[in-house]
Amino acid sequence: MWMRLRQIAVVASDLQKVGAEITGVLGAEACFTDPGVKQFGLKNTLWPIGTQMLEVVTPIADGTAGGRYIERRGGDGGYMVITQVDDVARRRVRAAELGVRVAFDLHYPDEGHDGIQLHPGDTGGSFFEMDQMTMPGGDAVGGPWYPAGKNWEPYVNTSRVSGISAAELQSPEPDRLAQRWAEIAEIGLTPDADGNPTMQLDNATLRFVEDTDGRGEGLGGIDVTVTDRDAILDAADRLGCSVSDDQVSVAGLRVNLR
């Protein structure tokens, strides 16, 4: 069985502002808006980063889970780690074995999409989603990805960044959080050079770090593979998103330039 990092979702109060940061700093082009998220009181936009996606959701109604998340974490930030798997039926069984609730069942057989969105109260850190593409070619690296619509490939722009190589989950107890995600994913943990526990997916790393920004447990950052660092840093400086030569702040995320 395999697992790939396919999409990162951010929740933000102002979709236009955050979209301008993503386009202006990372050079990504918007590819899709999903009308289906309206049932959750949200609107969204997706941007392809190579064969992966960066999604921003914004509450458009009162009392949404996304709105509560913004309040709890003190502003915009990471919301979901969305993976692609080849065995979602097995993942459902595993979640049940561990007593992890399924917050939403993503079962769209006519569209070739079957998935589960696990409850963040049981996973910790963020929503942990596992999706299987059951249409022809669905298992291919960079293959069809129903959440981004059927025509996202022409919008891929790798002039500044070519992929998402890691997601960084923070917690006051990163070891505990890492163990929970590892038992859900059935993937072992290894320490990185700084001693942080990490979980290696087929195309990316999940890294678990201590909460040092006071925002509590959550998806704090991502690593991106850079193709034009200077252009990113120049744009970040103009838009007020600059942090250092190795990091920018976009959509409430620490974006580490690798």
Residue 90: per-residue pLDDT: 97
Chosen domain end from 147, 171, 197: 147
CATH code assigned at 243: 3.10.180.10
User: Residues 104-118: what's their mean pLDDT?
Assistant: 96
Are 199 and 238 found together in one domain? yes
Mean pLDDT to the nearest integer, 239-256: 96
More confident residue, 195 or 69: 195
Q: What is the pLDDT of residue 125?
A: 81
pLDDT above 90 (res 171): yes
Chain-wide mean pLDDT for the chain?
Answer: 96
Residue 154 lies in a domain: no
For 71, the domain range is: 3-147
Looking at the structure of the chain, the number of domains it has is: 2
Least confident residue range of 24-28, 165-169, 183-187, 211-215:
211-215
Kindly report the number of other CB atoms within 10 A of residue 208's CB atom: 27
What is the percent of the chain with per-residue pLDDT over 90, rounded to a whole number?
A: 95
pLDDT tens-digit readout, 181-237: 999 999 999 999 999 999 999 999 999 999 999 999 999 999 999 999 999 999 999
Whether this prediction's pTM lies above 0.85 is answered by yes
The answer, yes or no, to whether residue 36 has pLDDT greater than 90, is no
Q: Are residues 138 and 166 in the same domain?
A: no
Same domain, 24 and 142: yes
CA dist., res. 14 & res. 17, Å (int): 6
Contacts of 218 (CB under 8 A, 6+ apart): 73, 77, 78, 125, 126, 169, 170
Neighbours of 205 (CB within 10 A): 17
Q: Are residues 43 and 138 in the same domain?
A: yes
One domain, residues 8 and 58: yes
**DSSP class of 32:** B
136 and 32, same domain (yes or no): yes
pLDDT confidence bin for 113, thresholds 50/70/90: very high
Is 230 inside any structural domain? yes
Residue 156 falls within a domain, yes or no?
no
Reported as a single tens digit per residue, the pLDDT across 132-151 is 999 999 999 999 999 999 99
